[in-house]
Each structure stands twice: as structure tokens, then as C-alpha cells.
């Protein structure tokens, strides 16, 4: 009888606890939270690279979201269903500018919004135009490939956040200052790393023309920068905006460059087809010249996923430097 009594008592206790406990509410996803009123500053960034800076500076005071996700190409991105709602709900919109986001529908919305701000145009306003790179009559939008140049975006983002939430100005200032220190430290680290590579090996072949800023800052010599001859160190089969239109002339250009400079390794990119580089390897093989693709991809227009070694801007830059260093030095085991 006692056992039955205790069993009934336990069942009653469990039932009582279940009835009194509040049902757990399902966790809201970011998009659902974005569409609702919030005390946080809603910041929409066109790319994950920009969004990473926003998160670092804004911390818990911002509700941050990238418009272009994953491996999608920001150069040609056009608005899709749901994007207008994200744009219209944002308190702030940050975009790269300099014709990176040149998809007609997105470009139109960015340029007409009074809440959108271009990191590239900020450089122009700071009279940093001399630091911008022009290639075949176009400005190169890949400004994030030079940490020292991209660091000017930190204060720009901070100032816009402070304007909307002045009560958190000290917090934004502190986080921005810490981030600038991280930028400076990594910039120096990459310079030192690249200087270890012999000058006659500092030639870079990538999938598209996205590493001009990296080459000028980290691979070129001071004399080459002064004489504007640094661009001779880098080449790609595709232009500033990859479109997949590769000709036999483009392939021959890379083959000749590789033979002239003894280039044996070519760098694929995470969100660009490696078909053109594979063709180069094949042509060189037919000429009894051994070459290969790097064992790891570089990250140019997109960050890696959350599980990758490049899931933040600083990690992306460090990963790119490591992959370039290991391959150009010839000490990568491919694992």
C-alpha cells in the first residue's frame, strides 16, 4: 500500500509542476525579430564583411543582418522577395559602394534611401581617393583587402550608430577603438609574413581581380608602390566583377604570366568558379610545366560559413594571408 501511495503522490507532483510551469515560447529567428519593433538599432549591411564590422562596433545595441548571404556574388546581386521589407525596416543601411553592388534593383534602392551610407564614398569624402585603385577605367571596389584602408570604415560606422543612440556613445567608442587596434595588429602581422616570401615568388594569380589592394599593400615593394608598377605582381582570368565570360585570350594571358614569372600555384576563390584556372593548369601540363591549384580557397567577396576558418572579417584576412604564404613558400602539404 505504501508503494502505491508514494507512486500516486509522485504522479500528482509531476502533474502539478507541469500545470504550473509556463510553456516555453519558441525562439524567434532573426528575420521575425527584424520585422518587429525593437529598442535596438536595426542595421542592414549589404555584405557579411560589412556586417561583421557593425556587430563588432555595435555589440548588443544593434540588431544586425546582411542582405547578401552565403556565397552569392555581391557584384550582380538583384533584390529578391523579402528584401524590400528588410530595407524598409532598417534604421541604418551600410553598403560598400564604388560600384560593388551594381545590380540595378539593389543599386537603385541604396542610392535613393536617406538611411543608406557607402563605405567607399566615405573614403572619397576623407580625401582618400588617392588610395583607391583604378583598373581598365573602373574603380576597384574591393577596399576591404587592405586593412589599413578599410579601417577608416570603423569610425564612419561608429559615428552613424552614435547619431541614432547617443546614450551609448562611450560603448561604441570603446568597441571601435579596440577594433582599430585589432586591425592595426593584423595589418602589421600580414606585412611581416609577406616580407618573408622572396620577392621573385610574390606573384599572385587569383580567380578574379579582387586582390589588387592586397597585392599593393602586402606583396609589393615600397619602390613598386612609388612607381605604380606593383600591378605587375597580380593577374586573374576574370575582371573586377566575375561574369564567367572567359576567352582563349584570357587563358593565354595567364599562361604567359605564369611562365614569365615561374608561377606554379593558382588561387581559387570560395565563391568564384575555378574552371578558368583549371584550364590554365591543363594548358601548362600540355607544355610539360607542372602547376596546381592551391589546396584551400581564398575568400574575396564573401566570408566563410560559421564553421570555417574565415567566418569573420579579420579571420578571413588572416586565412587569406596564411594560404598565400604557405603556397607561395611551397611548404603546404595539402592536408
Q: What is the pLDDT of residue 79?
A: 95
Residue that is written with C-alpha cell 534593383 in the block: 105
- Nearest Cα neighbor of 57 from 170, 214, 133, 141 is 170
- In this chain, the answer to whether the domains covering 30-181 and 196-328 adopt an identical fold is yes
Q: Alpha-carbon distance 335 to 333, whole Å?
A: 6
Give helix 313-328 / helix 48-58 axis angle, nearest 10°.
130
* Residue 228 grid cell: 605604380
pLDDT at 70 over 90: no
Give domain limits for the chain. 30-181, 196-328
pLDDT at 130 over 60: yes
93-120 mean pLDDT: 96
pLDDT at 332 over 60: no
Q: Which residues of 7-22 are buried (b: 16+ CB within 10 A; e: fewer)?
A: eeeeeeeeeeeeeeee
The 10 Å Cβ neighbour count of residue 71 is 15
* Residue 244 grid cell: 564567367
What is the CATH architecture of 30-181? 3-Layer(aba) Sandwich (3.40)
pLDDT at 335 over 60: no
pLDDT at 128 over 90: no
* pLDDT, greater one: 72 or 171: 171
Give helix 48-58 / helix 152-164 axis angle, nearest 10°.
60
* Residue 133 grid cell: 585603385
Span 169-219, pLDDT tens digits: 999 999 999 999 999 999 999 999 999 999 999 999 999 999 999 999 999
Span 17-61, pLDDT tens digits: 454 444 544 456 667 787 888 899 999 999 999 999 999 999 999
Q: Which of 36-40, 62-66, 329-333 has the highest mean pLDDT?
A: 62-66
The DSSP 8-state label assigned to residue 95 in this structure reads E
Max Cα-Cα span within the chain:
98
Query: What's the number of CA atoms in the CB half-sphere (13 Å) around residue 305?
Result: 3
Q: Integer distance in angstroms from the first to the last C-alpha of the chain? A: 68
Span 254-281, pLDDT tens digits: 999 999 999 999 999 998 999 999 999 9
Quote the CATH superfamily of domain 196-328: Nitrogenase molybdenum iron protein domain (3.40.50.1980)
Q: What is the pLDDT of residue 29?
A: 66
Q: What is the pLDDT of residue 334?
A: 44
* pLDDT, greater one: 120 or 1: 120
241-246 mean pLDDT: 73
pLDDT at 95 over 70: yes
Give helix 152-164 / helix 169-195 axis angle, nearest 10°.
170
Q: Alpha-carbon distance 7 to 10, whole Å?
A: 5
Counting residues of the chain whose pLDDT is more than 90, the rounded percentage is 76
Stated pTM of the model: 0.88
Amino acid at each position: 500500500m505504501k508503494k502505491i501511495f508514494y507512486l500516486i503522490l509522485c504522479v500528482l507532483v509531476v502533474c502539478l509542476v507541469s500545470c504550473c510551469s509556463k510553456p516555453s515560447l519558441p525562439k524567434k529567428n532573426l528575420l521575425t525579430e527584424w520585422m518587429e519593433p525593437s529598442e535596438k538599432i536595426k542595421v542592414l549591411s549589404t555584405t557579411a564583411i560589412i556586417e561583421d564590422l557593425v556587430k563588432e562596433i555595435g555589440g548588443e545595441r544593434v540588431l544586425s543582418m546582411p542582405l547578401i548571404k552565403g556565397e552569392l556574388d555581391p557584384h550582380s546581386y538583384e533584390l529578391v522577395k523579402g528584401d524590400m521589407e528588410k530595407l524598409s525596416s532598417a534604421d541604418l543601411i551600410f553598403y560598400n559602394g564604388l560600384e560593388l553592388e551594381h545590380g540595378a534593383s539593389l543599386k537603385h534602392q541604396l542610392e535613393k534611401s536617406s538611411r543608406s551610407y557607402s563605405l567607399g564614398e566615405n573614403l572619397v569624402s576623407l580625401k582618400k581617393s588617392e588610395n583607391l585603385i583604378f583598373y581598365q577605367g573602373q574603380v576597384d571596389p574591393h577596399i576591404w583587402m587592405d586593412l589599413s584602408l578599410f579601417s577608416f570604415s570603423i569610425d564612419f560606422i561608429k559615428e552613424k550608430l552614435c547619431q541614432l543612440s547617443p546614450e551609448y556613445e562611450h560603448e561604441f567608442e570603446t568597441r571601435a577603438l579596440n577594433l582599430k587596434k585589432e586591425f592595426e595588429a593584423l595589418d602589421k602581422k600580414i606585412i611581416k609574413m609577406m616580407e618573408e616570401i622572396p620577392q621573385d615568388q610574390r606573384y599572385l594569380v587569383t580567380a578574379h581581380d579582387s586582390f589588387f589592394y592586397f597585392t599593393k599593400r602586402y606583396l609589393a615593394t615600397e619602390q613598386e608602390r612609388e612607381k605604380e608598377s606593383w600591378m605587375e605582381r597580380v593577374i586573374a582570368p576574370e575582371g573586377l566583377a566575375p561574369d564567367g565570360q572567359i576567352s582563349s585570350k584570357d587563358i593565354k594571358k595567364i599562361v604567359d604570366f605564369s611562365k614569365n614569372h615561374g608561377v606554379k600555384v593558382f588561387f581559387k576563390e570560395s565563391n568564384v568558379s575555378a574552371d578558368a584556372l583549371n584550364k590554365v593548369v591543363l594548358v601548362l601540363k600540355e607544355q610539360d610545366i607542372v602547376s596546381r591549384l592551391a589546396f584551400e580557397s581564398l575568400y574575396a567577396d564573401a566570408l566563410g560559413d560559421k564553421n570555417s576558418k574565415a567566418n569573420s572579417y579579420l579571420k578571413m584576412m588572416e586565412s587569406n594571408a596564411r594560404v598565400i604564404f604557405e603556397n607561395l613558400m611551397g611548404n603546404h602539404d595539402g592536408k
